[in-house]
Every structure is written in structure tokens, then in C-alpha cells.
A and B are shown apart, each in its own frame.
With several copies, the nearest count.
Chain A
Amino acid sequence: MTVLVDADTRVVVQGITGHQGTVHTRQMKLFGTQVVAGVTPGKAGSEVEGVPVFDSVKDAVAASRANAACIFVPAPYARDALLETVDAGIRLAVIVTEHIPFHDMLVMYHYAREKGARIIGPNCPGIAAPGKAKVGIIPNVVFRPGRVGVISRSGTLTYEIVNGIKEVGLGQSTCIGLGGDPVVGTSFVDALPLFQADPETDVLVMVGEIGGTAEEDGAEFIGQHFTKPVVAYIAGRSAPPGKRMGHAGAIISRGKGTAETKVAALEAAGATVARFPYEIPALVADLVKQQARR
């Protein structure tokens, strides 16, 4: 394993019989991923895209030795779907489902953490390592194997940027879409050490958004511990302050959370910050060239 997934990753898809579950099971398989089981209560014995379906994650794991989960279960049932995965011994769960209440996600996050399991998401594109495996929904076409790592809070914008990297003739080592919900299982600061330790990543692209302090916290880690070159972009520089989360929210993130504070923190940490997404591929290509010269 390099960053979270590799050729030994064996995926169980929870909610496999739903539309999204079925579509992306197919896409994951096309990517080369071992999708070994699906779960939909009451549908045991059936098959989706050639993948056997089970009633419970425990059954699925027993039969298939799955070691990663991809969750498409609708929001009202997502909490228990994740808990079931953790109880079944799986230690990596990508939650694609959007609109999960954050109070549910708090339970999920703390339960998983206490059992030593990692959540990516919710409301996220997931993880893809070209040539190895994909757990999630990032379009296959944007990838080619390479040495650029990507961590992003966005969805579509990530696809655009990853695609841009491919278009300048480079490829990706691993791409993680963290999801943009208020509570995410894995944040920049959790994902950065994985890329620091990854021998297959030379350059990192970090795509953030306004709101929260995840980018500032990530920048602090970059400044202190991250030795590879970073190209960053923060979406929403021109967005209106919008409908804020009341006064208390402002108290928590005092003096942080705007595009300005994020960009400043990243620049202070030594990252190259792109002003627009279309600038990223060229900046990455420059860094790669500089590295080659050294």
C-alpha cells in the first residue's frame, strides 16, 4: 500500500443495488479495482455487475475478505451502515452519501476513530490510485499513473484539476477527495502525512475551499513536516460571506476560515498558491521540472 489503497484493496460496496451503487461498482471494476462484495439487506444471493450481494457486511467480509468499504447508502441509513462496517472489522470506509446529518457523522467519526478505522468523506469523491484501485466515484478518465498526489475538499473541481494534470502529460500517484461537509472523517492534516510518507508521490496538489480551518491546519502541517513541493488552490475567494453559521461559528474560527487567511497560511508554509484552477497544471509541471533538474 502506498496511500490507503493498492492492488490488494478488496472493496465491499454498501448499497450496491441502488442506482449509484451499481453504476460506480462498474466504474470501480473498470478502473481495475477488486470489488469483491456488495451489501443490501434482503438482497443476499443476488449479483450486481458480477459481484455477489450479501445481507450484512459481516457476511460479506466472511465470504470475500473485503478490507475497504464504499458506502452509497441513503443518508438516513448511512450512520448505521458505517457502524456496521467498523464492527465487521473494516478499517477504511469511503462514504459517498451526501446530506448525512452532522450529529450522525459525529457518532460515526468518534466510533470509527475509537476502533482504529478511517473514514473518507462523507459527501466525497473517494480515493483513486491509478494502476492500483479506486474506492469512490472519481471519473476513471481523468487519471493516468504518475507521481503527483492530490488532496481536495471539492468534488467536480477535483476532477477538473486532476484532468488538467493529465493534460500536461503528467500522472497521479493517489488522489483523495475528502468531501466538503462540516464533519469529515479525514481532513488535510490527516491526509498529508500519508503523502509525505508515500515514496510514489513527488509533488502534491491541495485543493481547498473557504469555510472552516482545515486548510490553515493543513498549512501548519506543511510548514512543519511536509518536505515535498505543494501547489495549492482555494476556491471561493470571491464568494459572498453568505449565510453564516451564526455567531458561535465565528467564535470558533476567529480570524480564520476566509480565502485570505487560507492563502496566507499556505504561502507562509511554502506552498505555491494558484489564483485559478487552470493555473495549477502548469505550476505542477514547473515543480516537476525543477525536481528533475536537482
Chain B
Amino acid sequence: MVKLAEWRGKEMFRKYGVPLPRGAVARSPEEAESLTAKGAVPLPCVVKAQVLAGGRGKGGAVKFASSPAEARAAAASILGLEFKGEVVREVLLEEKLAIGHEFYVSFTLDRAARIPILISSAKGGIEIESVDDAAIDRQPVHPFPGLTSFERRRAARSLGVSGSVAKSLDRVLGALWQAFQAEDAELIEVNPLAQVGDGVVALDAKVIIEDDAAFRHPEYAEIRDDRTPLEEIAREKEIAFVQLDGNIGVIANGAGLTMATLDVLKEFGGDPGVFLDLGGTDDPNKVTEAFLLMAKAKPRAVFLNIFGGVTRCDTVATGLVAAMKQVPASDRFPLVARIRGNNEKEGIAILEAAGITATPGLKESAQAVVAAAKGAA
């Protein structure tokens, strides 16, 4: 998924006609000063760190400025901060509006009901998880015919607005719905959507675009703020790769089998650090690439757990052996391979010929890799 930074989300909102505070992005204190000095951002203004993590307000990443010098200072104090591992490289400067009530609205998917859902609450401006269930309205929106006027009216009622504010809300909900569909969003969340005068204005924007729809949205291809460098390489090679804090690398095929492998390793005291899902590949080169990527993550031990269904065990074994030859001796690590299924015997033979022991038992091999990781420590 592609999470858009606030300013990118707002840029997208603007296309659909959602009212926004006037503002601009700065990547240096000087730029912040100049944007406010030349009036591109009216003063007084808010200066906000552009990071994807929540809780910016508490972390000193949102400041106010009433002069270009203050804007510069605010930007200087925010740029370079780190939030949950994410360094602030951009700040969004926006005019400070006289806001009234703060609301919450979002469109997302209700998986169980297989339908988009409009969530609204009069209790905006705080994290929606902390809002009481009774204060939240959930409204399914059928993709055909799409968001209707009575659904928008119901949201207005749940927000307690009427008159011109309700009319403004009505337009904003229509625009957000349009964006939700047209941009292939997983989530469009505005919190707060604030009353300003007799209308509403989106003060924040949280937008997540679905990865699977990337083929329709080349415009999002360059946004990769939310991945580690190795994850980024994996993405380019279309390998599912996630880095955690542990020290055992796991290569498996299929999300379910990968998760089950982690469960078993944890059970025996192991601490998985990287997991890599080969999926349904039957290309030995892809196995080699995956394995070399794993080596770069420097695990203490690696557990290869394959059930050959679509994938053939001998293909995986061939790819793995080729990869092992390319890993420098200094980067080597203990490897426990467990392969089952399609062409299992051929696979085991290939591994053993290369000096790698392969067993069919999940429990036994999990215990072995946990011991290996501890031994290597």
C-alpha cells in the first residue's frame, strides 16, 4: 500500500474540490521563510512535520508561526526530527484558520460485508479509536449506484450539522467518495474536518492507495516513503519481504505458511527477524534473488520452509544452491531447509549434494534453526 504524506493527500483532495487551508510545502527553513514572506502561505500559519506516523501533535512536530522568521525557526526545529524511525524531510505550512467544531469522516472497506463504508463522527480531532462506539456512524455505500444524497444526509445528522455547513459537508463527502473510487484508495480519512465559517475544511488528510491498483496509477509509483531500503528492493523484484527486530530469517512460500512458520519458531524460543514469502514462483532465478536479499539482512540463521505445490522443490533447491555460491564467506549463516511436496526427493538431493541438510519435519527443523541462531550468537 502507498501511504500519502498529508500534503500529497491534500494535493489529491484539491483535484476533487475538497476545501483546504491555503498552504505549501517547504523542505528547508529558508523555503519556509520565503513562502510566508512572499504570501504564498498567509500568516499566522501552522508548520507541520510531514511524516506518516500518528501523534505528531504530542511530539513537537506541529508549531505555529506569525512571522516569516518564526516560520523559519519552526521549520528548522521540525526538519530532521525522527518519528518512529522516520526522519522529517518536509514541513507543510498552512494558514491558521478560525475553526469551529472538528469532525471525523472516512471512507474505507468493510471486508466482512464486502462493501465500502463511510465512517463519521462528531468527535473529530482525536484518534477515532478512542471515540466511543455510540458516537461513530458506520454507513455502507453500495458501489452501484455509489454514494447517495440520503447517505450524505445521514452523515450530516451524525455530525449534528445543518444548513450551509451540511451543504458544504455534502459536497465534501461527494468529492471524497469520488476520490476513494477513482484513486483506488484503501482509506481516505479526514480528521479533523473542521467547521470554518459556514462550511467545512479538511485540516488533515490520510490517504492510502492500494498497491494492487498501481497499474492504473503511475503517478504514485515514485512514493516509497514507508519502506526500508531492502523492502524497497524486494518490492521492485516483486518479492514479499518484511523486516522485523529478530535474528532468524524465514523464507517460505505463501502468506499462511510463512505466518505458521513464525508461530512455530516463536513457540521454540526463536526470534524471527526477516520474512520473505516466495509466493507461487517456479523461477529459480527469483529464488536466488530472494536468497541474496535475505543475506543482505544479515540474519543469524535462516529457515527455508517450502511446501511444493505450484512451486517445485527442485526449482527452489536449484535457486538456493546458486545463491549460496554468491554469498561471500563472511556473510554466511547456518541454513536449515525443510522442503515438502512437489519433486521433494529431487529437491532434497540437490540440497544435500551442495552440503545442505534438508528434513521434512516442520517441528524438528524449527527446533534446529532456533538452536543454530542461538549457537551463532
Chain A contacts for B142, CB-based, 8 A? 110-111
Q: For the complex, what is the distance from the CA of A98 to the CA of B138, rounded to whole Å?
A: 29
Asked whether any CB of chain B lies closer than 8 Å to the CB of A106, the reply is yes
Q: Are B114 and A183 in contact (CB under 8 A)?
A: yes
Chain B contacts for A184, CB-based, 8 A? 114
When the two chains form the complex, which single residue of A155, A235, A248 contacts B309, counting CB atoms closer than 8 Å? A155
Chain B contacts for A154, CB-based, 8 A? 254-257
Asked whether any CB of chain A lies closer than 8 Å to the CB of B36, the reply is no
Q: Are B262 and A252 in contact (CB under 8 A)?
A: no
Q: For the complex, what is the distance from the CA of A210 to the CA of B255, rounded to whole Å?
A: 11
Chain B contacts for A182, CB-based, 8 A? 109, 111
Closest CB-CB distance, A40 to chain B, in whole Å?
11
Q: Please encode chain A, from 152 to 172, with 1 for each CB lying within 8 Å of some chain B CB and 0 for all others.
A: 111111111001000000000
Asked whether any CB of chain A lies closer than 8 Å to the CB of B33, the reply is no
Q: Are B115 and A245 in contact (CB under 8 A)?
A: no
Interface magnitude class on chain B: 35 or more
Q: For the complex, what is the distance from the CA of A154 to the CA of B187, rounded to whole Å?
A: 25
Q: Please encode chain B, from 241 to 257, with 1 for each CB lying within 8 Å of some chain A CB and 0 for all others.
A: 01010000000111111
Q: Which of A79, A155, A254 has the most CB of B within 10 A?
A: A155
Q: For the complex, what is the distance from the CA of A214 to the CA of B112, rounded to whole Å?
A: 6
Stretch of A195-203, A271-279, A285-293 contacting B (4+ beta carbons < 8 Å): A271-279
Q: Please encode chain A, from 246 to 278, with 1 for each CB lying within 8 Å of some chain B CB and 0 for all others.
A: 111111111000000000000000000001111
Q: Are A75 and B212 in contact (CB under 8 A)?
A: yes
Q: Which of A107, A238, A248, A251 has the most CB of B within 10 A?
A: A248
Q: Are B112 and A106 in contact (CB under 8 A)?
A: no
Q: Please encode chain A, from 232 to 244, with 1 for each CB lying within 8 Å of some chain B CB and 0 for all others.
A: 0101111110110
Q: Are B108 and A83 in contact (CB under 8 A)?
A: no
Q: Are A106 and B267 in contact (CB under 8 A)?
A: no
Chain A contacts for B263, CB-based, 8 A? 235-239, 275-276
Asked whether any CB of chain B lies closer than 8 Å to the CB of A180, the reply is yes
Chain B interfacial positions (CB closer than 8 Å to A): 1, 54, 106-112, 114-117, 119, 127-129, 133, 136, 138, 142-145, 148-150, 153-154, 157, 162, 181, 184, 186-187, 189, 191, 206, 208, 210-213, 215-216, 226, 242, 244, 252-257, 259-260, 262-267, 272, 279-280, 307-311, 340-342, 361-363
